[in-house]
Structure 1
Amino acid sequence: MEWQSDILGPGFESCAFDAVGWDGVRRRATLVRFTPPEAPDALNPQDAPPAAPRRAVLFLHGWSDYFFNVELAHFWEAQGFEFFALDMHNHGRSLQPGTHGGYVADLGNYDAEIGTAVGMIAGSGGAGRVQLVLMGHSTGGLVAALWASRNPGAVSQLVLNSPWLEMHRSALVRRAAWTMVEPIARLRPEAVLRLPERGFYWRSISSSAEGEWTLDSAYRPPLAFPVRAAWLSAILAGQAKVAHGLDIGVPVLVLLSVASENGMVWNEEMRRTDAVLDVNIIAARAMSLGRTVTVERIDGALHDVFLSRADVRGDAYGRLARWIRGYAA
């Protein structure tokens, strides 16, 4: 495995690797790391105090997404954490010709690449145990929660940014969707479901529209990747597991907007609300994650609270920093 200069420029490196899943399929993923230059007045090794235990964070992006938030990496580094992000298979830097963007038939198919990434993080800084925070956004938040529950002891804390833990309104909607989708997923797993296309969230964050973030349209398309039957079935199955309770044994932080705006036409409220998820049902479902769960509701936040306008994400970073001091110090 070889680290290369990353598309984010100086201070970032990436390493593509293959991981073999439980089903025997080899999948390509890409680990990104932040490598800030050392301060010019850094101590010589012989003058340095005894090394403290390493602390690191691994970030998992959402669906039809990839890691690009340089500010997030700088925040974690300022808190004393090494920062890593994983572009999971069929996403972002890991997209391969001839594959379906964003497609996965079982969320457990991500396990091997997450486990490999954790091993790479542990091995990147020499000997000694790493205190690892797993952080996930949206679908990546659902994946992170399920992975943490299946791998007790692998992470020290779990941070979820607008995790997709449940469908809109209630579990009844999820069960109804499962009834319709599951037969199609079983017979034609890669069939594209004709669902309404909404680019409102992309419009609120992209500098090509009305946001402030530079996005690569090949990695983060305005209307997201096509929704395929087995992918949606996998999401519904994962949400059902959350609903039954995951009993995650480490502290969990869930960050959410105060409000949702899920209409079928654009309106100005989408500049300061979650235009993707039903945040109230997510807040309620978060209580199924474990016994130590903190929910922070951020006024004016978008679906990714750390892509909101500067004052709003400043509030979110402040709340995250406070939680880190309490649970990850």
Structure 2
Amino acid sequence: MSTDPVLGAGYTLHRIDLGSDDEGPLRASLIHREPVPGDAPRADRTPPVLLMHGWSDYVFDRDLMDHLGTRGHDVWGLDLRKYGRSILPGQTPTEIDHLSRYDEEIGASLRRIGRSTPPVILAHSAGGLVATLYALRHPGVVRGLALNSPWLEMHLGPGTRRLLERPVHLLARRLRSRPILPVGDDAYARATHRDLGGDYDYDLELKPPGGHRFPASTLKAMLDGHRRLAAAGPLAAPALVMHSDRTAITSRRGERPLHADTVLDVRSLAAAARRLGPRVRVVPVTGARHDVFLSDPPVRATAIEILDDWLATDLLAAPTMTGTGRTAGPDASETGAS
């Protein structure tokens, strides 16, 4: 255990050894926020929160983690193998052949957090898919899921996924960890990173503009995860799903891409979210980006309010209307995507 070199004082880093694969040793990185004077007291109503990142990403949002900590949550973050703090020399960033392999580091993290206090997993994009599949495979070990633009389905829905599955599987067998997709556009980084005109600071080596090159094996694993999720039964745990109210997958500079999801198809995302189970609140956040917490500050504040409200209501009680124009509970999802 040591001070986390990314978040600095007040955060500790715990390495999780995961054996090795054909690229060498494997590790994951568990980050813990130490409590400080002024934090609300911890109680059963404030479960631990474990943050998980998206594809080509890492855990870095100290302000959000501090916010949750001041409200009494025991706050943790997990960089999966071959992501962020966990990348080792010679490894292909983000490479995985099956999403269930992440069960090892998630399980180790939950044991460190404590089995008597099941956490909420707050997960973004591909991490949302990983966390949801984990909760389905291990009912009862997660208190709830708070999903930030989770990648629950392919663009344009199940039909696209079914068309892609066979060719991607064949290519992955041939290419393995070699890239199947080129580096993406940097519009998202231009909209979010402080040095490029945005409001937020993060490491452009660990979260590069346009993402890392996408390994063929990883795309195969994601498609397989989408298929398994579509065939799964309902979640036992309550879930919150936040996403932008619109998609704008384009490289053009302008206002709309700055206030929309430029990565995922929010219609397909929302449709898959509504099928997760009977205690799911689906909330489109007007003007949000792909990571709703990297939206313009007023939109980020709205997203944090939604998260706080869900943690204080839906997570602990029967689904109800919130009274704020947002809906919660079975069959009460908001859909406004365009």
Check whether TM > 0.5: yes
Please say which of residues 53-62 and 160-169 is displaced more in the overlay: 53-62
- The one-character-per-residue Cα deviations of 1:157-207 (angstroms, maximum 9, x if unpaired) are 111000001111121111112122111112331232244621211221111
Cα contact 1:4–1:15 (8 A) shared by 2: no
Describe the SS at the equivalent of 1:291: coil
Is 1:13 the counterpart of 2:26 in the alignment? no
2:90 pairs, out of 76, 83, 98, with 98
* Shift of residue 237, structure 1, vs aligned partner: 0.6
User: How far, CA to CA, are the matches of 1:174 and 1:60 in structure 2?
Assistant: 24
Is 1:296 the counterpart of 2:283 in the alignment? yes
Amino acid at match of 2:76: F
Cα contact 1:29–1:86 (8 A) shared by 2: yes
* Shift of residue 242, structure 1, vs aligned partner: 1.8
User: How far, CA to CA, are the matches of 1:287 and 1:37 in structure 2?
Assistant: 38
User: How far, CA to CA, are the matches of 1:4 and 1:232 in structure 2?
Assistant: 34
Q: 1:194 to 1:85 in 2, by over 3 A?
A: closer
2:255 pairs, out of 244, 253, 268, with 268
User: How far, CA to CA, are the matches of 1:8 and 1:305 in structure 2?
Assistant: 20
Give the structure 1 partner of residue 311 of structure 2: 324
* Shift of residue 273, structure 1, vs aligned partner: 0.6
Give the structure 1 partner of residue 162 of structure 2: 175
User: How far, CA to CA, are the matches of 1:175 and 1:328 in structure 2?
Assistant: 34
* Shift of residue 327, structure 1, vs aligned partner: 2.9
User: How far, CA to CA, are the matches of 2:236 and 2:21 in structure 1?
Assistant: 24
Give the structure 2 partner of residue 228 of structure 1: 215
Aligned residues: 314
Cα contact 2:82–2:88 (8 A) shared by 1: yes
User: How far, CA to CA, are the matches of 1:271 and 1:254 in structure 2?
Assistant: 21
Give the structure 2 partner of residue 131 of structure 1: 118
* Shift of residue 22, structure 1, vs aligned partner: 12
Describe the SS at the equivalent of 1:111: helix
Describe the SS at the equivalent of 1:13: strand
Q: 1:21 to 1:196 in 2, by over 3 A?
A: closer
User: How far, CA to CA, are the matches of 2:265 and 2:196 in structure 1?
Assistant: 24
Is 1:113 the counterpart of 2:105 in the alignment? yes
Give the structure 2 partner of residue 34 of structure 1: 33
Please say which of residues 292-301 and 6-15 is displaced more in the overlay: 6-15
Is 1:4 the counterpart of 2:3 in the alignment? yes
User: How far, CA to CA, are the matches of 2:137 and 2:125 in structure 1?
Assistant: 19
- The one-character-per-residue Cα deviations of 1:238-283 (angstroms, maximum 9, x if unpaired) are 0111222342101011001111101243332111111101111111
User: How far, CA to CA, are the matches of 2:251 and 2:233 in structure 1?
Assistant: 33
- The one-character-per-residue Cα deviations of 1:14-43 (angstroms, maximum 9, x if unpaired) are 1112135999x9620000111142249x9x
Cα contact 1:64–1:224 (8 A) shared by 2: yes
* Shift of residue 102, structure 1, vs aligned partner: 1.2
Give the structure 2 partner of residue 46 of structure 1: none
Is 1:253 the counterpart of 2:245 in the alignment? no
Cα contact 1:245–1:290 (8 A) shared by 2: no
Please say which of residues 154-163 and 237-246 is displaced more in the overlay: 237-246
Q: 1:209 to 1:134 in 2, by over 3 A?
A: same
Alignment RMSD, CA only?
2.3
Cα contact 2:110–2:118 (8 A) shared by 1: no
1:205 pairs, out of 175, 192, 195, with 192
Please say which of residues 174-183 and 133-142 is displaced more in the overlay: 174-183
Give the structure 1 partner of residue 51 of structure 2: 59
Cα contact 2:183–2:214 (8 A) shared by 1: no
User: How far, CA to CA, are the matches of 1:148 and 1:79 in structure 2?
Assistant: 25
* Shift of residue 148, structure 1, vs aligned partner: 0.5
Task: Return 5+ residue gaps in structure 2 as ranges.
Answer: 317-338
User: How far, CA to CA, are the matches of 2:20 and 2:195 in structure 1?
Assistant: 37
Cα contact 2:31–2:77 (8 A) shared by 1: yes
* Shift of residue 76, structure 1, vs aligned partner: 1.4
Describe the SS at the equivalent of 1:28: strand
Is 1:148 the counterpart of 2:127 in the alignment? no
TM-score for the superposition, normalised by structure 2: 0.87
User: How far, CA to CA, are the matches of 2:76 and 2:183 in structure 1?
Assistant: 34
Amino acid at match of 2:167: M
Cα contact 1:248–1:290 (8 A) shared by 2: yes
Cα contact 1:185–1:233 (8 A) shared by 2: yes
Cα contact 1:21–1:111 (8 A) shared by 2: no
TM-score for the superposition, normalised by structure 1: 0.89
1:311 pairs, out of 291, 294, 298, with 298
Please say which of residues 51-60 and 27-36 is displaced more in the overlay: 51-60
Describe the SS at the equivalent of 1:14: strand
